[in-house]
Amino acid sequence: MKKSILALCALTVAAGLSACGGGTSSYTIGGVVAGLQYPGLVLQNNLVNDLPVTPLGADTNGNIQNVTYTFPNEVDYGEPYSVTVKTNPQHQTCVNSSGTSDTAGRLSSINAVIVCSLVTNTIGGTITGVAADGLVLTNGSAGGTVTVTKDATSGAYPTTFTFPVGVTYGQTYGVTVLTPPTGQSCTVTNGAGTMGDNKVETIAVTCANNP
């Protein structure tokens, strides 16, 4: 008799229907999105249930407020759940941080944390006319520098450049010539702008020999 109850119980748990000891126990799938600034975020639970999440803006101290979210459907004890980013918000990338994939009931409540940050893109463009060493480009004081050197194998100077430091969405950049190649002068066109959603490849550096 006792054995058969145990067996039934085990079967019930294995089937994932309810917990042993009577009554079902279900869990709300939810958590927090940190850093969300722009609309458009859609989260998914178990790759089927969509949940749009709206940013709350900044608090009185200017800090971006965390957004608490809850999926309308619940999961039973012992059922796996996983929260994923289906669609990123505008100008941002969101990633799973903690608690986004687990089995319901392993912890007393589900807190799936998603963290969003502004996209960062590279800036760069073309270089023409370089005939000597020494060209250094800078993006202001904090945006890094590019030193243009001859290719060791071909002996030619590169015709394109990309800054190693990216620029965050909405930030400005301004590429200028910190030092020209020896005996040359250079001008920069399209050197300044505000970062959008895509990388910038249109900065043109043109150098010519000094008269």
Partner 1 sequence: MIRSPLRAGIALACALSLSACGGGDGDVYVGGTVTGNTKAGLVLTNNDGPRLEVPANQSTFLFPDLVETDATYNVKVVASPDNTQPTTEGGTDGCKVVEGTGTGKAVFSVTTVQVVCTLKTFPLTVRVNGTHAAGLEIVNGSDRKAVAPTDTVVQMTQIPEGANYGVAVLAAPGQTCTVANGSGTMDNVGKTVDLNCTTP
- Considering only 22-30, 49-57, 58-66, 189-197, which stretch makes contact with partner 1 by CB under 8 A? 189-197
- What is d(CA 84, CA 197) in angstroms, rounded to the nearest whole number? 22
Tell me: does residue 172 bind partner 1 (CB under 8 A): yes
Tell me: does residue 121 bind partner 1 (CB under 8 A): no
- What is d(CA 105, CA 107) in angstroms, rounded to the nearest whole number? 5
Whole-angstrom CA distances from 185 to 128, 135, 155, 207 are 12, 9, 21, 6
CA contacts within 13 A on the Cβ side of 26: 9
Helix (H, G, I), strand (E, B) or coil at 134: coil
Interface residues for partner 1 in 57-116 (CB under 8 A)? Answer: none
Q: What are the beta bridge partners of residue 142?
A: none
Query: Which is closer to partner 1, CB of 71 or CB of 163?
Result: 163
Tell me: does residue 169 bind partner 1 (CB under 8 A): no
Residue of the chain from 71, 157, 169, 173 that contacts partner 1 (CB under 8 A)? 173
The nearest distance, CB 122 to partner 1, in angstroms, is: 14
Q: Within the chain, where are the H helices? A: 2-15
Tell me: does residue 182 bind partner 1 (CB under 8 A): no
- Considering only 57-65, 73-81, 112-120, 165-173, which stretch makes contact with partner 1 by CB under 8 A? 165-173
Tell me: does residue 184 bind partner 1 (CB under 8 A): no
**DSSP single-letter state for residue 211:** -
Tell me: does residue 125 bind partner 1 (CB under 8 A): no
Query: Which is closer to partner 1, CB of 53 or CB of 127?
Result: 127
The nearest distance, CB 5 to partner 1, in angstroms, is: 51
The residues, ordered by sequence, that sit 6+ positions from 182 with a Cβ below 8 Å of its Cβ are: 132, 133, 134
